[in-house]
Copies of this chain bind each other. A is one copy, B any other.
Amino acid sequence: MSKTKPSLPRGTRDFGPKVMSKRSFIIDIIRKNFIKYGFAQIETPAMENLSVLTGKYGDEGDQLLYKILNSGDFLSKTSKEDIEKGSRHLMTGISEKGLRYDLTVPFARYVVMNQNEITFPFKRFQIQPVWRADRPQKGRYREFYQCDADIVGSKGLWNEIELTLLFTDVFCDLKLEDYIIKINHRALLFSLAESTGLKEQIIPFCAEIDKIDKMGEDKVAENIKAMGANDRQINELLSLFHENNKEIILERLINIGVSKKVISAINSYFDALAVHSNKKIKVALDLSLARGLSYYTGMIFEVKPTSVSMGSIGGGGRYDDLTGVFGLKGISGVGISFGLDRIYDVMQELKLFPQKIAGRLDVLIVHFSEENLKHAYGIVSGLRDKGIKAELYPETAKIKKQFDYSDKIGVPYTLIVGDNEMASGRYMLRDMQTGDQKPLKMDEIIHRLKQNGER
């Protein structure tokens, strides 16, 4: 065993207690709402066969898959020629498995493999890490969690509505108020491309308008012109983007050929949301929203924070064909995803995490002697039995050392067990913030700590 100075792989992170309790705070709220909305949790393995993963994320995605070396003598099934053909060819001979790149392809595989047991519509959620051999940079990691909820096997508009409500409830529970849910629809993008004279170039057209936020309107207009649009068409397009009144937008969209059915669906969607007057639903039609068009086929969503400069903290949309690539046709659905890392960053920046979750303990018990320590065994257990997060300093030590420990881990109260306390049955409870201390009976201590724990 050599003594190595240990390190972390680039682009990966440890989550220590403080960060972890904040991450758990977010995940618990997302999970609780997924369950409240009737989604059932599944988990899939980290490793998938490369035959399942490869070809699903484009050429670039294939390059970003982490491949796992076959076990044992991995070269035994390869020939000299395989090696001479280079890394890319050799890879297929020495690696059969990879780490999942997202939760959608594993979910599609799951649906196909369990199609006979699944009752459709199937509402599933999944909260697990994914891995991408991406270049690490600020806010982009090689291991990160995805939190996905999908409804497959139903075309009802209610699904889009309830996913919007789900976004709303999660951000409400997180007390994250400065955000907007942008929505758009593939049919609108298609009509826009057509009316701009770029029907045949819909994918690059959408890629361009998706860049308006980053590059500015002028640059995008220039690029669209280069694609073949004329000035009138571009002005028409930009004026639509500038329009804030939804009714006017929809009317103009009918004029450029969007089907009444789509307009009616969008109206129904907004009408249904308006019924939920007890919720602050922050949703806006944004014609320049154009994420993942090659995958999504209906309505698309993106959640953007409004008071900090950051990418989307959630997104999703409707798709027509989840599982066709695995030979099962006709499975359509709609899904959303929460961006845990970015939500964390936004909440950190806006100081939205509640004070309380930072501390892991309600009380630390300190003592002066071996006898006091042993006496405290029953006290700490008694407190825990009442649901109080109690800890006993686990060995005899100078009282100063024990208080230092208490300060460092940030405990709201310490309970002091000395000979006087043992004799009187009243233990000194010290408020570590104010320094006030008072001898109290056990039931008073429990009452005080429970009150504090619930604050």
Contacts and interface: CB of A to CB of B under 8 A. Distances in A.
A424 interface: no
Given A40-B21, A385-B278, A394-B154, A7 B52 contact: yes
A295 interface: no
Contacts of A162: 380, 392, 394
Contacts of A124: 17
Interface string A133-149: 10000000011000000
Nearest to A384: B36
Interface size class of A (residues with CB under 8 A): 35 or more
A1 B21 CA distance: 41
A185 interface: no
Given A24-B41, A38-B361, A405-B119, A14 B114 contact: yes
B378 A9 contact: no
Contacts of A384: 36-37, 169
A13 interface: yes
Given A86-B75, A87-B76, A385-B278, A43 B55 contact: no
Q: In terms of DSSP, what is the predominant structure of the interface of chain A?
A: mixed
A95 B380 CA distance: 48
Interface string A65-77: 0111101111110
A46 interface: yes
Contact of A158 (B16, B39, B129, B395): B395
A91 B2 CA distance: 18
9 contacts: A4-B51, A7-B51, A9-B47, A24-B41, A36-B384, A69-B94, A69-B95, A74-B91, A121-B405
